[in-house]
Structure 1
Amino acid sequence: MATKKTEKQHANLGKGTGRRKTAVARVYLREGEGNITINGRKVEEYFGNPLYVYMVHQPLEVTDNNNKFDLVINVTGGGPTGQAGACRHGIARALVEHDEANRPALHANGFMTRDSRMVERKKFGQPGARRKFQFSKR
């Protein structure tokens, strides 16, 4: 007889979707002691560069929630800079969903604003987005 597999359900205190360039991060805020997991790996292991780890921790430091919550983040698309920015945006949104009192501090530091800068598309008849082929007079 097959045994039914029981999974432990985690109560999400807040959810947030962060975006930057082409990266999208889904953030789940849970009770815990400050563990951050990105795509099943620790944040230091996922982002080798300490700058990106710092970017992910910024919203927690500003709101003084460093060791209060566990964060589970699923991030797709883009490169490391875009993914770190998307994680930061998603964490800020999740913290505001959990406690609205966090909004002024996060907004003042620019974590609630989606950075809308994206790569401009390449146009036809040109080698790149802005670059033109060299003009030949003769």
Structure 2
Amino acid sequence: MSELQSLEELGGAIAPTENEAPVHVQKLDAQGRAYATGKRKDAIARVWIKPGTGKIVVNGKEYSEYFARPVLQLILRQPIMLTERDGQYDINVTVAGGGLSGQAGAVRHGISKALTYYEPVLRGLLKKEGFLTRDSRVVERKKYGKRKARRSFQFSKR
């Protein structure tokens, strides 16, 4: 009976209070890099961030070479510009699947997550802008009896 009482006392002391915010800690690998996975549509991006000169490499190429359209480059750089960390981190990305637009969104999601793992203080700022939320919209599947997902075949009277 005394053991049960002592366990209850310990349990009460260990349990956190209800209104306590979760504490986010820095997550680094053995090389001192932060790793995160970003996803968008069918694209999956693996992102590594480490302190450096601001070089961004996507699949072995400079990001401006891989994402030729300026809009995609802007999407990719949004979390870096928002947090004012331009030129402070070297970012290495491998991305696969989907098209260029989905890949740019996946890279943005991965960079945002990796930044929060390296600097947990930035989490609130990135979360408020919606960069940490995975955009779950994907292509709707084709249904039988339809030409596409919802488009019907053309009606022919004769």
Q: Report the TM-score when normalising by structure 2.
A: 0.77
1:11 matched to 2:3? The reply is no
Superposed displacement of residue 130, structure 1: 0.3
Counterpart residue identity of residue 25, structure 1: A
Is residue 138 of structure 2 the alignment partner of residue 118 of structure 1?
Answer: yes
Match of 1:100 in 2: 120
Can you list the C-alpha shifts for 1:50-99, whole angstroms capped at 9, x where unaligned?
Answer: 11111111101111111111000000001111000000000000001111
**1:28–1:94 Cα contact (<8 Å) kept:** yes
Structure 1 stretches of 4+ moved >6 Å: none
**Secondary structure of 1:51's aligned partner:** helix
Partner of 1:42: 62
Alignment size in residue pairs: 129
> Partners of 2:106 and 2:77 in 1: how far apart?
12
Contact 1:12 1:28 in 2 (8 A): no
Q: Which of the pair is proportionally richer in helix?
A: 2
RMSD: 1.4
User: Which residue of structure 2 aligns with residue 24 of structure 1?
Assistant: 44
- Rounded to whole Å, the distance in 1 between the matches of 2:32 and 2:98 is 26
Larger Rg: 2
Structure 1 residue runs without a partner (length 5+): 1-9
